[in-house]
Amino acid sequence: MKKPFSVLYIDTEILAIDKPAGVLAVPDHWDPDVPVAREMLSKDLGKLLPVHRIDKDTTGVLLYARDEEAHRELNRRFSTRQVEKTYFAIVHGEPEHEAWEVEFPLRADGDRMHRTIIDTSNGKPAKTRFEVVERFRGFTLVRALPETGRTHQIRVHLTASGLTIVADPLYGDGVPLMLSALKRKWKGDAYEERPLVARTALHAAKIAFQHPKSGARLEIEAPLPRDFKAALAQLRKLCSP
């Protein structure tokens, strides 16, 4: 498989890749110039049918069905909450609790910025469980376990919790995480400094489900990407509580 995709799992029914940042799962109508994973992969692998999506700048596990029967069965399992999804996010802020749940209903494309909004009247049910993995001064590594799959669900539910994902341009400040912002006595050249993380710091780490044909349980994992690991290394070094 050609770069930039790493294949995490493949058989005759399904394909799972480790999607990099800056790539769409399927085409959208906002930016036709953004590369699309499905189109790039289809050249070598034939028809691929999406069963879920992750945002353009989210990295990690992305799953496609390779035939209609697998597509129907996976869609059914996603819609009936039979698929376990695990994400990691680096957020601004320090949660009060070690674990909590958010169940605000969500409506996609709800404002002028095309953001998902909390809408108790017309929103669709949405639930996310959150767990603190590691704390730093001013930042937290959070595990997100979404039970539904609404657009931008994790990002909105974190914002509702008083937390924003590092470098999130829609729900946070969009400012890249820089070493100079963490290091008190920074002596580098600000003009040449490269960000630790320059995109929404959200990673789809694992997906677990029953295979649509054999019924065997699959757990597919994607390692943390380089920018995520670099940010965590510096937070551990410079922002330990």
Q: What angle do CA 208, 225, 6 make, to 5 degrees?
A: 65
Given the structure tokens 């609404």, which residue do they identify?
150
The phi and psi torsions of 182 (rounded to 5 degrees) equal -95, -30
Beta-ladder partners of 46? none
- The residues that are catalytic are 55
CA torsion sign for 144, 1, 27, 35 is positive
CA 52, CA 14: separation in Å to the nearest integer? 13
CA 213, CA 4: separation in Å to the nearest integer? 29
The phi and psi torsions of 25 (rounded to 5 degrees) equal -75, -45
What is residue 108's three-state secondary structure? coil
Residues 6+ apart with CB under 8 A from 202: 55, 57, 58, 59, 87, 88, 89, 154, 155, 165, 168
CA 197, CA 235: separation in Å to the nearest integer? 12
Q: With CA atoms as reference, report the closest residue to 60 among 25, 91, 93, 95.
A: 25
